[in-house]
Amino acid sequence: PLYDRSSRQYPTYNMAIPDQFGIDQFQKEFEEKWMSGGDSMPQLITVIIPNDHGAGDRPEAGYPFRESYMADNDLAVGRIVEYLSQTPYWKNMLIVITEDDAQNGVDHVDAHRSLLMMISPWVKRDFVSHVHVSFGSIFKTFWNLLGLPYLNQYDAGASDLADFFTNEADYTPYQALPVDRRMFDPQKALDPFDEQFDWKALDESPALDNVEDMIRDSKEREEYRLEDREKK
């Protein structure tokens, strides 16, 4: 059943495929299935937008810096929220955004921390929660909203995300901000189905959580820090 409900067009994890292409595919399928089609939107859908993982710079494809992949990802997130906030489903929608793990984005508190964004007409605007939450908290909130029983003690005992919500809805649609083209040029980002697509870059895309890739990346960052200290 899960396979039957999975997209055949949406790209998988691959840094050589622009997130912009993925969002184009998402919008196309959403329109076909749940806007102009006869079916209603499912109660839960999941979307992977992976380019914030980063990869090597590819100026010829619109990625002059490693950070360009984050700009691609930020724009994709903005576009998907903008699109969904203008659909009839928006009034009852909750968008939850998080990372699969903290990777090497260590902050000043703890290396295990990751980001969590809640987007909905029923979520408080400009709100920062100080409640300790986990992935179990996300699942617990899903089950509460969907009326499903908890899977195990892990999500049953987790704190939920109740403090994010408000009783006064704000249905204002979101408008995505344009990207700085010096950082990322979406017009240069190649269409994976174009005959000029860079298949070599596709093969070179790092595997998800590849140990050798993470070790190499860590060494490169350490070398950069040493060079920076020597310059100072």
Say which DSSP state 32 is in: I
The burial class, CB within 10 Å (0-12 / 13-18 / 19+), for 128 is: exposed
Task: Give the pair of three-digit tokens for residue 105.
Answer: 């984005």
pLDDT of residue 16: 85
Cα–Cα distance for residue pair 134/162, rounded to 1 Å: 13
Of 8, 16, 115, nearest to 56 by C-alpha is 16
Q: Would you say 15 and 50 are in contact if contact means Cβ atoms under 8 Å apart?
A: yes
pLDDT of residue 226: 64
Task: Give the pair of three-digit tokens for residue 192.
Answer: 């994976």
Instruction: Look up tokens 């820090």; give the residue.
Output: 225
Tens-binned pLDDT, residue by residue, of the chain (232 aa): 688 889 988 988 888 889 998 998 999 999 999 998 778 899 999 999 999 888 889 998 899 999 999 999 999 999 999 999 999 999 999 999 998 766 666 777 777 788 899 999 999 999 999 999 999 999 999 999 999 999 999 999 999 999 999 999 999 999 898 888 899 988 888 654 453 434 455 455 556 566 776 677 777 766 666 666 666 6
User: What pTM was computed for the model?
Assistant: 0.80
Cα–Cα distance for residue pair 63/75, rounded to 1 Å: 13
Cα–Cα distance for residue pair 216/211, rounded to 1 Å: 9
Q: Which residues contact 215 (CB under 8 A, 6 or more apart)?
A: none
Polymer length of the chain:
232
Alpha-carbon distances, residue 93 vs 15, 43, 169 (angstroms): 29, 9, 11
pLDDT of residue 168: 96
pLDDT of residue 60: 87
When computed from its CA atoms, the radius of gyration of the chain, rounded to whole angstroms, is 20
